Amino acid sequence: MEYLSLKKKEYIYKSDLCLMFDYDGIFPEVAWQTSAVDWILNECWTKMDYGDHYEMMVKPDMAKTVEEIMNTLNQQAAVMKTFNTLTKVKFYENVSEKLKQHTVMSDVILACMEEIIEKYPVRKYSAELSRILAWVGLVMEAIENYVEKESIHLPPINSVSLTKPVIRLFSIDKNHFVMADELLKTLKNCNIDVSGFEKNVFGMKELSTFTFREASQKVDKDVMKNLEFVKMEDIRLIFAQTPIPTCNGGYCTLAVDALRDILMDMILAKKIFQTIEEKNWIYIKQFFKSIEKYFDRTRGVYFIDLKDVKTIKELWENVYDTHLEQSSPSPKLMKTSKKTGFSVKDLKETLPFLELEKCFKGIFEYADPIYSILTADNKLSTNHLHIAVLQCQINSLVRKIPMLLEFIHKQGGCDRLSIVRCELCDGKTLAEESVTITKPQRPETREELHQKKTKHQSSIDTKSESEALNSEVAKSDVTIEKPTTEEKPSQKTKESKKSKQPTSREIPKPEPKESNACPKCERAGKFTREANEKLRLSKIEVKQLKKDLIRNQLKNEEMKQKVMDKDERIRMLERLLEEKDDVIKEQEEKMKEQAAVIQELRRVE
């Protein structure tokens, strides 16, 4: 897929370079030749160093080049028809020698050809082998010429140092931004001074962004003129977004899109708001509370790693499978209509038909503004009725759980998620819904049990000291001197009022804090702090080990896939060879039969 830069140039990811050449139609009649070309070129692609998988390059216009290659191959085929077997073999050898002079990938290509020749000898298949070799050689030569012309860093073809920084420019509606880590790393790779904002980036959380304006302020003006900003196409899918490569070797998606995917699964796939009862709402709220750390309402626009997205989806699936799936009846389906389009009345009738007012009492108030927006942007069809119902549910849900609306607004995604009449956009505040969130219990670790026991013992000791202190205060209250007869009546009245107040024993006292004066409390507090620190360090270590495990698993999967691909190619070539052997045997049998017939005819003569 190509992307347009601000300077109107087309760019592609470097790793997509191999997709620029469609060679399926070159050998339409012979499968083994196509497989051979596929294998050789794949070997060449794997030997190239594309850099980080987020790096981009100017898209080569290879249509004309491929056409020229095809003409050359056709001319070669026409000439070879006039050659005898010995001349064809000599021609193949000449092509092999010339290949070494025209491409740096000749060693890889010729090594692959040696393996193919073992099954398809040159003397018998010289024409086919020459066509394969010529095509691969011309393709690699064209790539090398283009890479050198555009000064593209692509070892081993071209090891020129990076000079033209290419930065991806993302957008949410009218807000444009870049990945902070990518901006820093790309400029450093091009040996550009980044001291002005390097510390700023290191202080930011992972996958944070700079707005386009912030980037232009942090980068030197002369450097800014040399930067190539490539606009990333904003294609929104229904359930899952296209993964975005990151500069740390992973993949990510916009944080607001990660939330949108969860909402799509809730509303469209599982239709939970058509089926759940009021008592089940606690599980929905618990789920959103549990993922609150992934959707930070204090950050600007940012991305989420796909590993975290997977974790969020697993948490949601667990909540659904455990609490919601079995208790939910089958949801109603929308009525089919023969007429095209729909009215706002149809929308308001559909909402109660789907029983959505049970979950969202104020859902009808969003019908009119949503209908108005859809009418302004589209010529309405019945498909838009489904969209309107979806948007009504999203608007109701984010008001019922205000943290969602706060997050969406902070990410600048109100229009992206079709939020209408956003209170925060209008400068209003949201009323937080008081919800008692009970976290699901889990088995306690040994350290937690020991810590709990220590805290319990500490509270008992502190309580005994508190009771002793209260008894002392009570005694001191009893020994207070009575007022003398010389005191005025007003003073007696005051004393009587004081006597009516509850004693210090009756007043509920707050739980006394840990006192430095108490040796037991001090020891318990010290032990607790040490235990918490050990627990924190162990969690960090476990998290790092999990990351290493996942990274190693991915590497193993890639190696397995490569081995499987090679094994599959070998099996394919073996099957083709067996087919050829069968054909040869049939031909030999026919020749024997013909020879026998000829001998019989000679005898008759």
The residue ranges of every structural domain in the chain are: 3-149, 451-459+512-560
Query: At 150, is the pLDDT very low, low, confident or very high (cuts 50, 70, 90)?
Result: confident
Q: Which of 47-56, 188-197, 288-297, 544-553 has the lowest mean pLDDT?
A: 544-553
**First-to-last C-alpha distance (Å) of the chain:** 73
Distance CA 518, CA 453 (A): 18
8 Å CB contact between 20 and 62: yes
Query: Is residue 78's pLDDT more than 90?
Result: no
Beta strands in 82-165 (DSSP E): none
The phi and psi torsions of 170 (rounded to 5 degrees) equal -100, 165
pLDDT tens-digit series, residues 179-202: 999 999 999 999 999 988 999 999
8 Å CB contact between 178 and 215: yes
**Mean pLDDT within 427-448:** 51
Cα–Cα nearest to 466, from 421, 428, 508: 508
Q: Which one has a higher pLDDT value, 518 or 397?
A: 397
The phi and psi torsions of 244 (rounded to 5 degrees) equal -105, 120
**Mean pLDDT within 2-10:** 91
Q: Model pTM?
A: 0.66
Cα–Cα nearest to 109, from 96, 121, 119: 96
Do the strands 303-305 and 244-245 form a parallel or antiparallel pair, or are they unpaired?
unpaired
8 Å CB contact between 85 and 55: no
Query: At 462, is the pLDDT very low, low, confident or very high (cuts 50, 70, 90)?
Result: very low
Q: Which of 67-71, 137-141, 263-267, 307-311 has the lowest mean pLDDT?
A: 67-71
Q: Which one has a higher pLDDT value, 557 or 80?
A: 80
Q: How many CB atoms lie within 10 A of CB 394?
A: 23
**Mean pLDDT within 110-131:** 90
Query: Is residue 34's pLDDT more than 60?
Result: yes
The first and second tokens of residue 533, run together, are 């620190």
- Angle of CA points 265, 268, 270, to nearest 5°: 65
pLDDT tens-digit series, residues 483-522: 333 444 444 444 444 444 444 434 444 444 444 457 667 7
Query: At 460, is the pLDDT very low, low, confident or very high (cuts 50, 70, 90)?
Result: very low
> Hey, which residues does 226 pair with through a beta bridge?
none
Residue 158 DSSP SS3:
strand
Q: Using the structure block, give the residue that is written with the tokens 């071209």.
A: 158
8 Å CB contact between 290 and 435: no
Cα–Cα nearest to 37, from 46, 29, 26: 26
Instruction: Give the model's pLDDT for residue 166.
Output: 94
Query: Is residue 405's pLDDT more than 90?
Result: yes
CB proximity list for 192: less than 8 A, separation 6 or greater: 165, 223
Distance CA 292, CA 280 (A): 19
Instruction: Give the model's pLDDT for residue 9.
Output: 92
Cα–Cα nearest to 210, from 228, 197, 193: 197
**Mean pLDDT within 278-304:** 94
